[in-house]
Structure 1
Amino acid sequence: MTEPVLLADVVRSDFVEGHHRGSVVVTNPDGTVDWAVGVVDQPMFPRSSNKPMQALGMLRRGLPLTDELLALAGASHSGEQFHLDGVRKILAEAGLEESALRTPAAYPLDDDARDAWVRGGHGKERIVMNCSGKHAAMLLTSKLNGWSLDDYRSPDHPLQKEIRTAIEDTAGEQVSYVAVDGCGAPIFALTLAGLARSFGRFAGAAAGTLEGRIADAFRAYPEYASGSTRDEAELMRAVNGLFCKAGAEGVYAVGLADGTGIALKLEDGTPRARKVVMAATLQRLGITNETIENHLHFDLTGGDAVVGAVRPHAPTFA
């Protein structure tokens, strides 16, 4: 077993004050590993990067969502008004109220959306939690199949068994551990290589297949799959055919149109270096544009000025 490696440097006023360590893997269209650094063959939790695979399990059991609502079913949304409207549409399709959601009460992820929500007199509510689109889709799938609704988050529920199968099918490996994610639903452990393999298969899937429908929904409606100002949406808009989803604890996965998969995990779980490392990996593959170049640094401020940045650890990506 190898160890996580240096992936990003924290540089302030030309002084390197710290590092972010982690692991990255690139898989070929056939699922084999093309390039890797760090730990890519040991179990890890993909966290919300599992959501497209969770959506696949639901589509297999008749989830009727398309377009922006399908993207929302696989999203960690920012809690903007159009996200909330979409969640309510999914619940209405199932004939259910917001009280059916088993997401924890939360504020919107997006700062502006959170401020508007609070100014409107709201506190923490289940519908604004970033996983509410996924949970609404889980409820709709369960309702259509005649499954119980109160325990849809249980690992033993028929819905979660279908989701586990979909995850294993696309990753090409068996789930090694089951835990509880931040939203209360099960989270299934894979290797980082398995996560990359899965994203390559989604991104390279033929149009009209279930995997292709999910990837196309993300590409067509990236703001529904994340948020209006999120780096994931920027990346999907900037690279034709790219499909991506980030997760908690520094996880990020990308699939390219030719079936190449990429997955990374930052050991310290920080989100700030996530886009930096992914941009460096894409550049290593020969993919670059203005957006990717902008993602190569996370600015650090001092007073009112930019005085440094989190940037790729160059020797790792040479």
Structure 2
Amino acid sequence: MSFARLAEVWRGPCVESVHHGVAAVADATGRVLHARGDPGFVTFPRSALKPFQAIGLVESGAADALGLGDEHIALACASHRAEDFQVALVRDWLRRLGLGEEALVCGPDLPRGAEDQAAWLRAGGGRSRVFHNCSGKHCGFLSVARRIGAPAAGYDDPAHLAQRLFLAAFSELLGRDAAALPRGVDGCGLPALALSVGDMARAAARHAAAAAASESRRDAIRRIHAAMRAHPDHLSGRDQPTSRLIRATEGRVLVKGGAEGFVVAFVPDRGLGIAVKIADGASRAKMGVLTMLLGRIGLLDATAAEALCEAVEPPVRDSNGRVVGRVAITLPQAA
């Protein structure tokens, strides 16, 4: 494998850390148009797969049967921070299903934001499954199970019909049988698939282009795009790098991050998919790399890319909040 030097972290006059990784841009025909590092590197996209996992929620009719709105669909694609509006949606969703939080396979957690967490603990609250960042995705799988008449219990089993429906949709966009991919277990307890960074970019491009055989699947994918575009805060939290990037591009670029330094982007009007993996698993730098890559391929002009990079990669600060360093994206020219 070969990794490119994608970012440096400067403290004052010196480089303190370096992030290497892989970045790939592909189109819906399967061509990798740009690559930094080896796009054949196989890894886990983790939560970057959620916009693919949400296809069954819409295509099966489960979302409409429950009267779910685009905000629920966005939450199914989310790695949320358990902010007030997100928690309210999860609880509303479970109410529509007639289920308690114990039906969720994801483990109990606390809100991610320091202030939200402190307020909850001061009020005497404890960990809850609705606070887990993947609880929207899990509600989506429970909804699919309900719609197709499968049991709610066991929806985390790869053999469960709801999981098999996801694999069928992902296989079409991937261009081969996704059930044959290496499989692990995600942090939330659901199956986690591994594939190359290049293949993830290809699948994202086909998702972006809604390149599916059936009209029902094409419509489902377009509805997911519309939900992500209309509700960018739902995908992570208020004024987070994900929502800043989506808003800065006026929804032309849709973004979904994954754990361990992964992020994927969908560009529907160009039929492009972008995948970035930071090799050391750091979340730092991945959004900046994505942003500067958008500039390199002409989706942002150079000035806008630089400004947006500063918005999604905060400077290094000391404990008093003073700026003492920066994250510099060192994205090499395409090979």
Q: TM-score range by the shorter chain?
A: over 0.9
Match in the other structure for 1:161: 164
Match in the other structure for 1:177: 182
* Matched position secondary structure for 1:209: helix
Separation (CA, whole Å) in 1 of partners of 2:28 and 2:150 = 36
What is the number of residues matched between the two proteins?
Answer: 317
1:201 to 182, 185, 206: 206
Residue type of the alignment partner of 2:50:
K
* Matched position secondary structure for 1:308: strand
What is the correspondence of 1:20-99 to structure 2 with a 5 Å cutoff? 20-64=19-63, 65-99=68-102
| Unpaired stretches in structure 2, ≥5 consecutive residues | none
Separation (CA, whole Å) in 1 of partners of 2:45 and 2:204 = 12
Cα deviations by residue, 1:118-154 (Å, 9 ceiling, x for unpaired)? 2222121111000011111211211222111121101
Residue type of the alignment partner of 1:24:
A
Instruction: Please say if residues 298 and 311 of structure 1, whose CA atoms lie closer than 8 Å, have aligned partners that are also in contact.
Output: no
Distance 1:303 1:150, change over 3 A: closer
CA drift at 1:60: 2.8
Separation (CA, whole Å) in 2 of partners of 1:57 and 1:41 = 28
Which stretch of the first structure deviates more once superposed, 234-243 or 108-117?
108-117
Separation (CA, whole Å) in 2 of partners of 1:19 and 1:37 = 15
What is the correspondence of 1:1-318 to structure 2 with a 5 Å cutoff? 2-64=1-63, 65-175=68-178, 176-205=181-210, 209-240=219-250, 241-256=252-267, 257-286=269-298, 287-288=300-301, 289=304, 292-295=308-311, 297-304=313-320, 305-316=322-333
Distance 1:308 1:120, change over 3 A: same
Distance 1:6 1:118, change over 3 A: same
Instruction: Please say if residues 277 and 296 of structure 1, whose CA atoms lie closer than 8 Å, have aligned partners that are also in contact.
Output: no
* Matched position secondary structure for 1:169: helix
Identity %: 35
* Matched position secondary structure for 1:112: helix
Separation (CA, whole Å) in 2 of partners of 1:302 and 1:88 = 38
Separation (CA, whole Å) in 2 of partners of 1:200 and 1:167 = 12
Distance 1:228 1:296, change over 3 A: closer
Separation (CA, whole Å) in 1 of partners of 2:174 and 2:308 = 27
Q: CA RMSD in A?
A: 2.0
CA drift at 1:317: 6.6
Instruction: Please say if residues 203 and 255 of structure 1, whose CA atoms lie closer than 8 Å, have aligned partners that are also in contact.
Output: yes
Cα deviations by residue, 1:159-207 (Å, 9 ceiling, x for unpaired)? 1111112222222233321111000011112221222222223333399
Residue type of the alignment partner of 1:263:
A
Cα deviations by residue, 1:218-255 (Å, 9 ceiling, x for unpaired)? 00001112211210011111103211100000000111
Residue type of the alignment partner of 1:188:
L
Which stretch of the first structure deviates more once superposed, 284-293 or 132-141?
284-293
Separation (CA, whole Å) in 1 of partners of 2:259 and 2:197 = 14
Distance 1:296 1:244, change over 3 A: closer
Residue type of the alignment partner of 2:220:
L
Residue type of the alignment partner of 1:127:
V
Which stretch of the first structure deviates more once superposed, 153-162 or 199-208?
199-208
Separation (CA, whole Å) in 1 of partners of 2:96 and 2:26 = 38
Separation (CA, whole Å) in 2 of partners of 1:277 and 1:108 = 27
Instruction: Please say if residues 272 and 298 of structure 1, whose CA atoms lie closer than 8 Å, have aligned partners that are also in contact.
Output: no
Distance 1:151 1:120, change over 3 A: same
Distance 1:297 1:148, change over 3 A: closer
CA drift at 1:297: 4.3
Separation (CA, whole Å) in 1 of partners of 2:222 and 2:69 = 12
